[in-house]
Amino acid sequence: MTMKISDFIAQQPATVEKVLSDLPLQIEAALPESEPERVILIGTGSSMNALLAASDSFSGLPAELALRSPLTFLAETGERRVAKSLAIVLSQSGNSSDTIAATKQARKEGMDVIVVTAGREAPLAACDVKVVWLPVEDETVGPKTKGYTASVLALRLIGMALSGKTMPTAARGFVEGYAQLIETARIWSTNMAPKLAGADVIAVLGQGRHYGSALEGSLKVAEMAGIPSFGLETEEASHGRLHGLTKKSVTIALASNADELDLARRVVAAMAHYGLTGFIFDLTGKEPEGIVWPASEEPTTGLDTLSAVVPFQWLAVDLAAERGLVPEDMPYPGMTKRLGIKVGEAV
């Protein structure tokens, strides 16, 4: 039986449990012997979004932190060769050509490299690197959902392990709330999709780690439902971008604390004055009505980055259906192959 994206979305609580139980040992075995002076996070597309969503878990390290797309990494020279560098490379498929090239280059320069991937047969894992395996190898569709979730969590665990920390056992309580979120967000999306299917643009705003969530949420909508969609920092959006919206546009602003909520409320209120549609996903509260977010963690472990994207995953599937598209196919089948961005069989 062919698995659908809706199945993968629903499997995410089980994926989170598997990552929490299986990956810490793999990560311990993959860490370099000596402390790195520089950590470079490398990935593209959904994997770049996951790196952005998890990068705060590396910020407490004494090492300098850099985040690079594979092509930017390949084009750079100099500095990174001198310090003891650790490249952490994420590719959910293990088939992205530029990511493979960047990995080979990092090894050629003598860097320690940890690859995070689900692609057991893919060329990336064969690059003489340490590998952390994401337990999502059956997700062979282009638009990833549980692969993204597994990636963010794996990276958070790696960031913590590099700082000598482990995920608090209380984090396991998150899974229950997360399962409830998957269900409530599904119902919310079923109700909302008919109202949003005519949008000319869906903008997703987020600040801090949720800039990554905003990029990922908007990527799902674009690649499954074919609606122009983009992610922006909420702060950036308030500096001119809102003028590019129309009365047919929809903006969703993520907020994960009081400051972000204040900014999101100001943005949405200003938009409403001009008849522009905007609403808020308050990850610590009760907005939008119907979605039950997992209880906020104190102190934060950043697990809300797993929650923030869930309504967008469902919305992308439902909007595709509303527009007569098959989400697994993406609006322009064969695009990846034409772009030449993947090795092997690409959709």
| Of residues 39-58, those binding ligand F6P (CB under 6 A) | 44-47
Cβ-based nearer residue to ligand F6P, 95 or 256: 95
Cβ-based nearer residue to ligand F6P, 44 or 301: 44
Q: Which two tokens stand for residue 172?
A: 């396991």
Q: What is the DSSP string of 138-200?
A: T--SSS-SHHHHHHHHHHHHHHHHHTT----GGGGGHHHHHHHHHHHHHHHHHHHHHHHTT-S
CB of 198 to ligand F6P, least distance (A): 25
Q: Which of 82, 32, 37 is nearest to 63 (CA)?
A: 37
| Of residues 322-341, those binding ligand F6P (CB under 6 A) | 336, 341
Cβ-based nearer residue to ligand F6P, 99 or 313: 99
Cβ-based nearer residue to ligand F6P, 13 or 43: 43
Q: What is the largest CA-CA distance in the chain?
A: 58
C-beta separation of 319 from 227 below 8 A: yes
Q: Which two tokens stand for residue 221?
A: 């909508």
H-assigned helices in 81-145? 97-108
Q: Could you give the count of Cα atoms lying within 13 Å of 246 in the half-sphere of its Cβ? A: 6
Q: Is residue 142 close enough to count as binding ligand F6P by CB under 6 A?
A: yes
Cβ-based nearer residue to ligand F6P, 47 or 256: 47
Q: What are phi and psi of 131, to 5 degrees?
A: -120, 135
CB of 300 to ligand F6P, least distance (A): 26
Q: How far is 321 from 327, CA to CA, in rounded Å?
A: 8
Q: Is residue 99 close enough to count as binding ligand F6P by CB under 6 A?
A: yes
Q: Is residue 143 close enough to count as binding ligand F6P by CB under 6 A?
A: yes
Q: Is residue 93 close enough to count as binding ligand F6P by CB under 6 A?
A: yes
Q: How far is 328 from 237, CA to CA, in rounded Å?
A: 30
Q: Is residue 184 close enough to count as binding ligand F6P by CB under 6 A?
A: no
Q: Which neighbouring-strand residues pair with 172?
A: none
Q: Is residue 103 close enough to count as binding ligand F6P by CB under 6 A?
A: no
Q: Could you give the count of Cα atoms lying within 13 Å of 45 in the half-sphere of its Cβ? A: 22
Contact code string over 187-226 relative to ligand F6P, x by CB under 6 A: ------------------------------------x---
When binding is defined by CB under 6 A, the residue of 11, 57, 91, 313 that contacts ligand F6P is 91
Q: Which stretch binds ligand F6P (CB under 6 A): 27-35, 92-100, 238-246, 320-328?
A: 92-100
Q: How far is 222 from 49, CA to CA, in rounded Å?
A: 14
Q: Which stretch binds ligand F6P (CB under 6 A): 91-99, 179-187, 264-272, 315-323?
A: 91-99
Q: Is residue 36 close enough to count as binding ligand F6P by CB under 6 A?
A: no
Site of interaction with ligand F6P (CB under 6 A): 44-47, 91-93, 95-96, 99, 142-143, 223, 336, 341
